[in-house]
Chains A and B, each alone.
Chain A
Amino acid sequence: GIQVEQSPPDLILQEGANSTLRCNFSDSVNNLQWFHQNPWGQLINLFYIPSGTKQNGRLSATTVATERYSLLYISSSQTTDSGVYFCAVHDYGQNFVFGPGTRLSVLP
């Protein structure tokens, strides 16, 4: 089945810094989503982005489907950005495959 990798596994930032999170996948996909899991466990939808670029405030995402990767950009990070970021892909099969996540800690 499709494999999903995320990097880096852990990231520590000072408040105000920028960061880029990467998601690589091993085969063609028809759906890619980015989620943020907050410290209380809630998975929050950030982007539905099977291809192209989207922006939402300080966050933006780019997926290059032909090269099988997606990037999540966080600018001017805040402590509330802390948590785990997951990408998930849907591979034309039945289910979603999740990456292992990137744990982000933003220090005040």
Chain B
Amino acid sequence: DVKVTQSSRYLVKRTGEKVFLECVQDMDHENMFWYRQDPGLGLRLIYFSYDVKMKEKGDIPEGYSVSREKKERFSLILESASTNQTSMYLCASSSNGGTEELFFGSGTQLSVL
């Protein structure tokens, strides 16, 4: 089974802190994604990556950056956390080999105080 692991289930940070959210997948998937989910707004794509060291902006990249130094790991970085970045963050991965079925991690609930 595909496993997508997010490093923290719950995270509490202070305004202005630099925050790292880590995501690791174990199925050699080329594609990795970061979404945030807010009540009433559904899932919104922040950034995605189709290969190591490649990154593309999604629909709401402002205030975020990403890093993909290794194929299995995709990190989301909040350079200076703000209260409006309090949200559920979901990492996902998929392969390029035909189906591109999307698999999600268990999510990180981030609270910025």
Contacts and interface: CB of A to CB of B under 8 A. Distances in A.
A52 B99 CA distance: 15
Interface in B31-69: 33, 37, 42-43, 45, 48, 50, 56, 58
A48 B99 contact: yes
Which range contains the number of B residues in contact with the other chain? 20 to 34
A48 B98 CA distance: 12
Contact of B45 (A33, A35, A43, A95): A95
A98 B43 contact: yes
Tell me the dominant secondary structure on chain B's binding face: strand
B42 A45 contact: no
Contacts of B92: 43
Which range contains the number of A residues in contact with the other chain? 10 to 19
Contacts of B43: 86, 98
22 contacts: A31-B99, A33-B101, A33-B102, A40-B106, A41-B88, A41-B106, A42-B104, A42-B107, A45-B101, A45-B102, A45-B104, A86-B43, A90-B100, A94-B48, A94-B56, A95-B33, A95-B45, A95-B48, A96-B33, A96-B102, A98-B43, A101-B42
